[in-house]
A and B are shown apart, each in its own frame.
Chain A
Amino acid sequence: RKEVEQDPGPFNVPEGATVAFNCTYSNSASQSFFWYRQDCRKEPKLLMSVYSSGNEDGRFTAQLNRASQYISLLIRDSKLSDSATYLCVVNAYGAGNMLTFGGGTRLMVKP
Chain B
Amino acid sequence: EPEVTQTPSHQVTQMGQEVILRCVPISNHLYFYWYRQILGQKVEFLVSFYNNEISEKSEIFDDQFSVERPDGSNFTLKIRSTKLEDSAMYFCASNPGQGIAFFGQGTRLTVV
Contact = CB atoms under 8 A, between A and B. Distances in A.
A43 B104 contact: yes
Contacts of B57: 96
Nearest to A94: B56
A100 B33 CA distance: 12
Nearest to B45: A98
Q: How large is the interface on B (under 10, 10 to 19, 20 to 34, 35 or more residues)?
A: 20 to 34
The secondary-structure label for the interface of chain B is: strand
Interface residues of A, number: 24
Interface in A83-99: 87, 91, 93, 95-99
B13 to A, nearest CB: 19
A72 interface: no
Interface of A: 31-32, 34, 38, 41-46, 49, 87, 91, 93, 95-104
